[in-house]
Chains A and B, each alone.
Chain A
């Protein structure tokens, strides 16, 4: 990518960003868990698009496959399993003041995060502009991620396998219907 991104690129970047934010707002305001889940999927697709535009094609693909594909499907399965699809059963009873307070906190959080990251890039460590794109062009999309993953972060990578194993065991134990439970 050149220093100054093209108008086409900029337009789409903003477009996906706005879609993501709008879908997120719709997501938190949906009463039905099913529609909320569907809107969350939209957010995740938009994010996948942003990842691709940020030269992280591999992560974008994984985002679609794992998040939108696998994790959200599990959520939907659980919603269906518990038969929570009927919004009437779920009164969203938080009051107006509660919501206003939450909104104020959210705005405050945005403001704080924003002032925190402003000017926070440490110049001596930044890569030259367009480096990531050149790297992808030269090595492909996977090699730049695989390199550090299997060298510097090998131990963390191996430990995630333990985390996943523990999660599997935990899910099985928790989800198992006990013999004595009715």
Chain B
């Protein structure tokens, strides 16, 4: 099969075009990583988080615990001496990679009816027995979309980072990590087999860890990095098991080879369901779904552009990509698909409720991300792979915009505090308010993103979210999912339940996003009298990318207009993305749809009307209920009561995990594994015991050393007798 795909690469119409340069797309960020890494090494001895200026950071960290990382961006006064090099190289490689990706995209567009993926094999990586894994990149319609999103959004965030991080002493190190992340992300989406995808999967996890703990001199940040890393390992366990199962049963890990065997999968069989569920366990870790979502809110300890790139736009969507990529597996396992739908819908709703009552602007966005990822999983779980990827794309636009906007706000807030030498929380919305007067561009752009995420037409989020919910609704009738059973419940019931949860989450999304906007940009300013004078718009290098993302967030829906819209208004082509992705996911989607079909146009119109009504009412509720004028700054705020307090404390899930998982693990490790097995058994019995045994035999042996030659002679002769006797039995017949 490998040979076949290699052969098809030779005859692939893309072979001679710009797409043939796809190996350079990931290598460019890798080159940037090497250069920036070298620059970072040159003066690590002089600068870095441990330098004397960090004293002010530490003092700052004292007055409030988590989420203070961003404080340093404007705080540090020691700009790196080679910052100029990094400013050119860091975003430069991304611009080049994006241009290359765009060229490859145009080359793909030029080929009519491109159905076979374009696979480039570079070298054989693991030829072990029956297992043969190549380092090979696979460019097809799906990975093309992902490459464009990663390099495009990544490029904008890199440019934004130049403004955001320039004053930080760790500036080259930051860009080295960021470039390395993009490299691994591109390996993830371009890899032609599961092990290569896994390399990217682990690599982005590593970069995520490094960047969450970027300001590692504060323990909370380092702990957040560790938490992300460890929680992700649980998911990776699932990913590995799934790969083992695939190899053990189908003998290959190559996408093309597995897809060719898809017909042989036992539909709904326990094996394929187990594989799909183990893959999904990996997804819950990487893409922050219940029960492994807990790391993502803590990951906000990293710099805000990192949150935008890694923890909103790209890395956390890797799970969605994995399921879309493995659509031939999930399409054959309806129970796994229903599991994905249930977990996704629950996560969407659950995270949205937490988002209602967070005060940290980045925490709100973090829970919003978890919630939106839930939507994507609902989409891919329901076999609406196009809708899932579509929402992934629009989410990358508007969530990156929201995070970068929040980054601008934090940047400005922090600079203001820095001018007056006040130490207060620059991320708490209770300290903001009325910023629209000072940051007009950011204010407008963030409203666009808010309307997009809330699902208000004609912004991008409306189209993608509506497509997910609409497709989910249509799956309730006649599809293979509807015919399956999930924990005894009929699939139809599960799907309607998930649909209801999705609508509820949409309402909550509109509410908490409007709340964020109201508290941040509207009402009176609560920053402080002196500080107010220093509030101003962020520099153009930061607002520029915001404008581009704002345009994309506004018109992103154009990429996949539903038929019901194009029939009424001649806005553009229908289902552009759907047609584009059809060669990759079409078969899987068809398998899930089964005997079901589209909902009637009238029903579809009704569903859209309901969704829009919900979004609008969410915004209306927020505007009427919430009174920004009544809010007091954080320092004077009184603690919440009742259910609000539960929400503010995120349902105490971290505490429950701590009591149910972390503490028992810790106790077992300490008392049984360390004291019992390590100290008692290994150190006591095995290590010291063997030493004692050696000493004993040595003592016995030394008793023979009497110095009496007679004794020695006896021992010698008896030895000779024994050896000769042994000869007797072994040599002679």
Is A115 part of the contact surface with B, judged by Cβ < 8 Å? Answer: yes
B728 partner residues in chain A, CB cutoff 8 A: 112, 115-116
A108 partner residues in chain B, CB cutoff 8 A: 721
A1 partner residues in chain B, CB cutoff 8 A: none
Is A96 part of the contact surface with B, judged by Cβ < 8 Å? Answer: no
B55 partner residues in chain A, CB cutoff 8 A: none
Is B732 part of the contact surface with A, judged by Cβ < 8 Å? Answer: yes
Is B727 part of the contact surface with A, judged by Cβ < 8 Å? Answer: yes
A94 vs chain B, min Cβ distance (A): 8
Given A116-B724, A116-B727, A109:B717 Cβ within 8 A: yes
Contact for A116 among B717, B718, B732, CB less than 8 A:
B732
Is B720 part of the contact surface with A, judged by Cβ < 8 Å? Answer: yes
- Between A94, A109, A113, the greatest number of chain B beta carbons within 10 A of the residue's beta carbon is seen for A109
A112 partner residues in chain B, CB cutoff 8 A: 721, 724-725, 728
Q: Using C-beta atoms within 8 Å of the partner chain, give the interface range for chain A.
A: under 10
Q: Provide the B713-731 mask, 1 if CB < 8 A to any CB of A, else 0.
A: 0000110110011011000
User: How far is it, in angstroms, between the C-alpha of A108 and the C-alpha of B728 when the chains are bound?
Assistant: 13
Of all chain A residues, the one with the shortest Cβ separation from B721 is: A108
Is A105 part of the contact surface with B, judged by Cβ < 8 Å? Answer: yes
Q: Provide the A137-179 mask, 1 if CB < 8 A to any CB of B, else 0.
A: 0000000000000000000000000000000000000000000
User: How far is it, in angstroms, between the C-alpha of A105 and the C-alpha of B722 when the chains are bound?
Assistant: 11
User: How far is it, in angstroms, between the C-alpha of A105 and the C-alpha of B718 when the chains are bound?
Assistant: 8
User: How far is it, in angstroms, between the C-alpha of A115 and the C-alpha of B729 when the chains are bound?
Assistant: 11
Q: Provide the A89-108 mask, 1 if CB < 8 A to any CB of B, else 0.
A: 00000100000000001001
Given A112-B725, A113-B724, A116-B727, A105:B732 Cβ within 8 A: no
User: How far is it, in angstroms, between the C-alpha of A109 and the C-alpha of B719 when the chains are bound?
Assistant: 11
**Which residues of chain A from 51 to 106 have a CB within 8 Å of any chain B CB?**
94, 105
- Residues A105 and B724 in contact, CB atoms below 8 Å apart: no
Of all chain A residues, the one with the shortest Cβ separation from B720 is: A109
User: How far is it, in angstroms, between the C-alpha of A115 and the C-alpha of B731 when the chains are bound?
Assistant: 12
User: How far is it, in angstroms, between the C-alpha of A1 and the C-alpha of B728 when the chains are bound?
Assistant: 34
A107 vs chain B, min Cβ distance (A): 11
Given A115-B732, A116-B732, A105:B717 Cβ within 8 A: yes
User: How far is it, in angstroms, between the C-alpha of A116 and the C-alpha of B723 when the chains are bound?
Assistant: 12
- Tell me the total A-B contact number using a CB cutoff of 8 A: 20
User: How far is it, in angstroms, between the C-alpha of A115 and the C-alpha of B710 when the chains are bound?
Assistant: 27
A94 partner residues in chain B, CB cutoff 8 A: 710
Q: Provide the A104-141 mask, 1 if CB < 8 A to any CB of B, else 0.
A: 01001100110110000000000000000000000000
Q: Provide the A13-24 mask, 1 if CB < 8 A to any CB of B, else 0.
A: 000000000000
Of all chain B residues, the one with the shortest Cβ separation from A101 is: B714
A115 partner residues in chain B, CB cutoff 8 A: 728, 732
User: How far is it, in angstroms, between the C-alpha of A109 and the C-alpha of B721 when the chains are bound?
Assistant: 7
A101 vs chain B, min Cβ distance (A): 8
User: How far is it, in angstroms, between the C-alpha of A115 and the C-alpha of B727 when the chains are bound?
Assistant: 10
B732 partner residues in chain A, CB cutoff 8 A: 115-116
User: How far is it, in angstroms, between the C-alpha of A26 and the C-alpha of B728 when the chains are bound?
Assistant: 31
A42 vs chain B, min Cβ distance (A): 25
User: How far is it, in angstroms, between the C-alpha of A84 and the C-alpha of B724 when the chains are bound?
Assistant: 37
User: How far is it, in angstroms, between the C-alpha of A175 and the C-alpha of B161 when the chains are bound?
Assistant: 90
A116 vs chain B, min Cβ distance (A): 6
B710 partner residues in chain A, CB cutoff 8 A: 94
Of all chain B residues, the one with the shortest Cβ separation from A98 is: B710
A120 vs chain B, min Cβ distance (A): 9
**Which residues of chain B from 223 to 281 have a CB within 8 Å of any chain A CB?**
none
A113 partner residues in chain B, CB cutoff 8 A: 724
B727 partner residues in chain A, CB cutoff 8 A: 116
B721 vs chain A, min Cβ distance (A): 6
Of all chain A residues, the one with the shortest Cβ separation from B727 is: A116
User: How far is it, in angstroms, between the C-alpha of A113 and the C-alpha of B720 when the chains are bound?
Assistant: 11
Of all chain B residues, the one with the shortest Cβ separation from A112 is: B724
Of all chain B residues, the one with the shortest Cβ separation from A118 is: B732
**Which residues of chain B from 689 to 732 have a CB within 8 Å of any chain A CB?**
710, 717-718, 720-721, 724-725, 727-728, 732
A108 vs chain B, min Cβ distance (A): 6
B725 partner residues in chain A, CB cutoff 8 A: 112
B724 partner residues in chain A, CB cutoff 8 A: 109, 112-113, 116
Of all chain A residues, the one with the shortest Cβ separation from B723 is: A112
User: How far is it, in angstroms, between the C-alpha of A108 and the C-alpha of B718 when the chains are bound?
Assistant: 10
User: How far is it, in angstroms, between the C-alpha of A40 and the C-alpha of B97 when the chains are bound?
Assistant: 99
Of all chain B residues, the one with the shortest Cβ separation from A105 is: B717
User: How far is it, in angstroms, between the C-alpha of A173 and the C-alpha of B710 when the chains are bound?
Assistant: 27
A109 partner residues in chain B, CB cutoff 8 A: 717, 720-721, 724
B718 partner residues in chain A, CB cutoff 8 A: 105
User: How far is it, in angstroms, between the C-alpha of A58 and the C-alpha of B732 when the chains are bound?
Assistant: 35
User: How far is it, in angstroms, between the C-alpha of A116 and the C-alpha of B728 when the chains are bound?
Assistant: 7
- Between A109, A112, A115, the greatest number of chain B beta carbons within 10 A of the residue's beta carbon is seen for A112
B302 vs chain A, min Cβ distance (A): 75
User: How far is it, in angstroms, between the C-alpha of A38 and the C-alpha of B720 when the chains are bound?
Assistant: 29
The 18 sampled A-B contact pairs (Cβ below 8 Å) are: A94-B710, A105-B717, A105-B718, A105-B721, A109-B717, A109-B720, A109-B721, A109-B724, A112-B721, A112-B724, A112-B725, A112-B728, A115-B728, A115-B732, A116-B724, A116-B727, A116-B728, A116-B732
**Extra contacts besides A115-B728, A116-B732 (18): CB < 8 Å:** A94-B710, A105-B717, A105-B718, A105-B721, A108-B721, A109-B717, A109-B720, A109-B721, A109-B724, A112-B721, A112-B724, A112-B725, A112-B728, A113-B724, A115-B732, A116-B724, A116-B727, A116-B728
Chain A interface residues (CB < 8 Å from chain B): 94, 105, 108-109, 112-113, 115-116
* 8 nearest CB pairs, A to B: A112-B724, A105-B717, A108-B721, A116-B727, A109-B721, A116-B724, A112-B725, A112-B721
